[in-house]
C-alpha cells in the first residue's frame, strides 16, 4: 500500500431523493457509493434522514415508513459488503416507543453504530420534537438484523489511522455542539449529516460556522445537506456540501443541482495532530464516558492510484488575492510599530541602513521611512548607505541611489573595493581567488562601516536579512548576519517580494517603477565580479535553489514538522507545472542540510519582530541544538 502521508479521502454526497420513497432513495445512495469507491474514497457521508427524506412530517409516525427505512438501511449495508469504504446515512429508528433521528455507520455489510441527533429544532418551519426524541439517552445498544449495535451520541469510531465522530444538523447550531466534546475525546474528523434549508444569507453563515468549528477544535469537518428533491410546501433545500480543515475550507459543492452531487477531498490527519499536540489546552476531558467503536481495516485501496483532490498552495505564507491589501498593511503595521518601539527605547538619533538595491534592503528602507513618518521624525535621520564592491551592478546601484533621493533620506556612499583589497592583501589572500573568504570579507566590511557610523551618529543599525536567508544560513557570520535590529527577520523571501510589489502599486510614479524593477532584479549578494556585459553573474537561486521552493519547505517543516517524503509529495502537487520530482528532491535535500548546519547562526541572531505565525527566533518559536545532523 502506498504511503498516504496521513491523508484521508472523504466525500460529502447529495443523492437524488423522493420524499418517503425509501427504495428509490436507497438505489440512488448505492449509485453514489459506487462513484465514491471508484474514486477511492474512504468515508462517504449522506444527508440527514437521507433514506426517507427529511420532510416526511407525520409520515414518520407510520409503521410502513419505519419498516421501509430499515429495509433500505439493510439493503445499503449489504451493498457495502467487501467494499473498502465507510458509509454514513441517515434514517429514523424506533427504540422503546421513541423515534430517533439517527446517523448510521456502515462498513463491510454491517451497521457498526447509530448516533442519534441530540439537539432538535422546534421553531419556524422545523418541528422535529413533534416526531423525534432528543438523543440524550441511556440506551447503550439497539438491536438490528446483524445483532446488537452501539447506540448513542457518545460514540467514537476508531479506524487503523484516524478517529471520527458524528453530529447531526442542529447539533452544530447549539451553544455547545457535540463535536466539541467529540474532538476533545479524540475525534479528528467530524461528519455532519444535515438537512438545513436555504434562505438568503444562511449559506455564508453556515459556511462560516463550519470553518470556525473546524478551527476551534482542530478537526476536519465534513458537512452534507439535503438537496432540492426535499424542497416541498414552504421550504427549499440547496444540497450544500463543505469540507473544512482547521479553519480552512478545502472544497464545497455546487448548490441547487437537479442531479446527484459529490465533493471529494483529502484531510490531513498529521497536520491536525500537530496542532493538537502544540495546544496544551487540548486535553481529554475526563468528565463523561465516550465509547470507542473499532472499525475493521478498509483494505489496501485507500488512495493508491488516483490523484489527490485537495489543492496545496505553492506560496503557503501568502494570503488569497482577495486579502492582499489587508495582509500587506498588517505586515507593514507590525514592522513599523516594532521599529518605532526600538527606536524610541534606544534613544537613537539616527538609523543606519545598508542599501544595495536588492529586495530586502529596499523593504527595510521603506519600513524605516514609514516609521519615521509615524513618529513624526525627519526622514533625514535615516542614513541610507551604499557600499559598492566588486560585484555591484549599475542597475542595483542606480536604483538604490535614486530611491533614497526620492524618499528624502540622507544618502552616503562608501565604496569598499580599496578597503577589502587592503584587507585581503594583509591576510595574504589572492585577489583573483573568488572564494568564500573573498565574498565574506566584503560583507563584514560593510557591517563594520554601518556599526561605526552608528557609533559616530548615535544610531541604530537596521538589519535587512530575511527569514529564508536565516533558514538556509545564507548570511555571512558577523557580516549581514549581524545588526542592532533585524526588521525583516520574520518575513520569508516570498513575502518580502510580495510586500514590495504591493508598495510599488501604493507609491506609483517613479518610486513604483523603481520598486518594480527591484522586484524583477535577480536575487544576489553581488559579491562576485560582473560578467563581461556588466550583468549580475552571482545569482542566489542558482546556488541554493528557488526561494519559492525553500519557503514551501520551511513552512511545512517548521509549522507541522512533516517528514521529507511528505513535504516532497505535497510540493509535487503544488509545483507540478514547474519542477519535477528530481528537482524538488534535490532542493529539499539542500534545504534540510543547510537548515540544520546553520542553526549556530540563528542561535545568536539579533532581535527582530515576529510578523507571521512562524519565526526562527531562538528566543521564541524555534529552539534547536546547534550541533545536530539533519533528520
By annotation, the residues acting in catalysis are 48, 117, 169
> In sequence order, what are the beta bridge partners of 113?
105
Alpha-carbon gap, residue 357 to 403, rounded angstroms: 9
Alpha-carbon gap, residue 250 to 261, rounded angstroms: 16
**Strands, DSSP E only, in 410-545?**
410-413, 459-463, 485-486
Q: Which residues contact 165 (CB under 8 A, 6 or more apart)?
A: 155, 156, 157, 178, 179, 182, 183, 185, 187, 189, 190, 191
Please give the radius of gyration of the chain, using alpha carbons only, rounded to the nearest integer.
31
DSSP character string of 178-225: HHHHHHHTT-SEEEEEE--B--TTHHHHHHHHHHHHHHHTT-EEEEEE
Burial per residue of 93-103, b for 16 or more beta-carbon CB atoms within 10 angstroms, e otherwise:
bbbeeebbbbb
Alpha-carbon gap, residue 412 to 446, rounded angstroms: 13
Order of all β-strands in the sheet with 86-95? 110-116, 98-107, 86-95, 43-45, 7-14, 261-268
Order of all β-strands in the sheet with 248-252? 248-252, 241-245, 220-225, 189-194, 163-168, 155-158, 291-294
Alpha-carbon gap, residue 429 to 438, rounded angstroms: 8
Residue 416 near residue 388, CB atoms below 8 Å: yes
Percent helix, strand and coil across the chain, each to the nearest 5:
40, 20, 40
Residue 391 near residue 527, CB atoms below 8 Å: yes
Q: Between the CA atoms of 436, 439, 441 and 444, what dihedral angle is there, to the nearest 10 degrees?
A: -110
Residue 58 near residue 19, CB atoms below 8 Å: no
Residue 151 DSSP code: B
- In the chain, DSSP finds a helix count (H) and a strand count (E) of 19, 20
Amino acid at each position: 500500500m502506498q504511503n498516504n502521508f496521513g491523508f484521508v479521502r472523504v466525500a460529502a454526497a447529495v443523492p437524488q431523493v423522493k420524499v418517503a420513497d425509501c427504495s428509490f432513495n436507497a438505489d440512488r445512495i448505492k449509485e453514489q457509493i459506487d462513484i465514491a469507491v471508484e474514486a477511492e474514497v474512504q468515508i462517504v457521508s449522506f444527508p440527514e434522514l437521507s433514506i426517507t427524506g427529511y420532510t416526511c412530517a407525520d409520515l414518520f409516525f407510520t409503521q410502513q415508513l419505519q419498516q421501509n427505512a430499515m429495509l433500505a438501511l439493510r439493503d445499503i449495508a449489504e451493498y457495502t459488503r467487501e467494499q473498502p469504504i465507510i458509509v454514513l446515512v441517515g434514517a429514523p429508528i424506533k427504540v422503546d416507543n421513541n423515534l430517533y433521528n439517527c446517523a448510521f455507520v456502515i462498513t463491510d455489510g454491517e451497521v457498526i453504530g447509530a448516533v442519534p441527533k441530540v439537539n432538535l429544532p422546534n421553531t419556524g418551519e422545523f418541528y422535529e420534537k413533534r416526531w423525534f426524541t432528543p438523543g440524550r439517552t441511556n440506551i447503550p445498544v439497539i438491536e438490528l438484523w446483524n445483532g446488537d449495535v452501539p447506540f448513542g451520541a457518545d460514540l467514537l469510531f476508531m479506524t487503523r489511522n484516524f478517529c471520527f465522530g458524528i453530529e447531526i444538523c442542529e447539533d452544530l447550531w447549539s451553544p455547545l455542539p457535540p463535536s466539541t466534546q467529540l474532538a476533545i475525546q479524540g475525534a479528528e474528523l467530524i461528519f455532519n449529516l444535515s438537512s438545513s434549508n436555504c434562505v438568503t444569507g444562511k449559506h455564508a453563515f453556515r459556511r462560516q460556522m463550519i470553518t470556525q468549528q473546524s478551527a476551534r477544535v482542530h478537526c476536519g469537518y465534513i458537512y452534507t445537506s439535503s438537496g432540492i428533491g426535499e424542497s416541498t410546501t414552504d421550504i427549499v433545500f440547496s444540497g450544500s456540501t463543505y469540507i473544512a480543515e482547521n479553519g480552512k475550507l478545502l472544497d464545497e459543492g455546487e448548490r441547487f443541482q437537479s442531479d446527484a452531487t459529490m465533493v471529494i477531498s483529502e484531510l490531513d490527519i498529521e497536520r491536525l495532530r500537530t496542532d493538537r499536540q502544540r495546544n496544551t489546552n487540548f486535553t481529554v476531558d475526563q468528565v463523561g464516558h465516550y465509547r470507542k467503536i473499532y472499525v475493521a481495516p478498509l483494505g489496501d485501496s485507500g488512495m493508491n492510484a488516483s490523484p489527490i483532490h485537495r489543492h496545496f498552495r505553492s506560496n503557503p505564507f501568502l494570503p488569497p488575492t482577495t486579502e492582499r491589501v489587508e495582509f500587506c498593511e498588517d505586515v507593514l503595521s507590525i514592522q513599523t510599530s516594532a521599529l518605532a518601539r526600538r527606536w524610541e527605547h534606544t534613544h537613537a538619533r539616527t538609523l543606519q541602513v545598508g542599501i544595495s538595491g536588492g529586495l530586502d534592503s529596499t523593504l527595510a528602507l521603506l519600513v524605516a521611512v514609514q516609521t519615521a513618518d509615524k513618529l513624526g521624525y525627519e526622514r533625514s535621520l535615516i542614513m541610507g548607505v551604499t557600499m559598492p564592491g566588486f560585484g555591484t551592478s549599475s542597475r542595483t546601484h542606480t536604483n538604490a541611489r535614486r530611491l533614497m533621493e526620492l524618499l528624502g533620506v540622507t544618502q552616503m556612499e562608501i565604496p569598499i573595493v580599496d578597503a577589502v583589497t587592503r584587507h585581503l592583501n594583509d591576510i595574504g589572500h589572492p585577489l583573483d581567488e573568488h572564494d568564500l573568504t573573498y565574498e565574506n570579507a566584503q560583507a563584514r566590511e560593510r557591517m563594520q562601516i554601518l556599526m561605526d557610523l552608528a557609533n559616530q551618529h548615535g544610531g541604530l543599525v537596521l538589519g535587512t536579512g530575511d527569514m529564508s536567508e536565516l533558514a538556509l544560513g545564507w548570511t555571512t557570520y558577523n557580516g549581514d548576519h549581524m545588526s542592532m535590529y533585524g526588521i525583516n527577520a520574520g518575513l520569508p523571501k516570498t513575502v518580502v517580494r510580495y510586500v514590495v510589489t504591493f508598495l510599488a502599486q501604493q507609491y506609483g510614479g517613479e518610486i513604483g517603477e523603481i520598486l518594480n524593477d527591484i522586484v524583477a532584479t535577480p536575487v544576489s549578494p553581488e559579491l562576485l565580479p560582473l560578467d563581461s556585459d556588466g550583468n549580475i553573474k552571482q545569482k542566489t537561486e542558482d546556488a541554493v535553489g528557488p526561494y519559492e521552493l525553500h519557503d514551501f519547505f520551511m513552512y511545512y517543516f517548521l509549522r507541522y514538522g512533516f517528514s521529507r517524503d511528505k513535504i516532497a509529495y505535497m510540493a509535487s502537487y503544488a509545483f507540478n507545472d514547474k519542477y519535477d520530482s528530481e528537482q524538488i528532491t534535490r532542493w529539499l535535500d539542500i534545504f534540510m542540510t543547510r537548515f540544520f548546519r546553520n542553526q549556530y547562526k540563528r542561535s545568536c541572531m539579533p532581535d527582530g519582530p515576529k510578523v507571521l505565525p512562524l519565526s526562527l527566533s531562538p528566543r521564541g518559536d524555534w529552539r534547536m541544538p546547534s550541533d545536530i545532523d539533519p533528520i
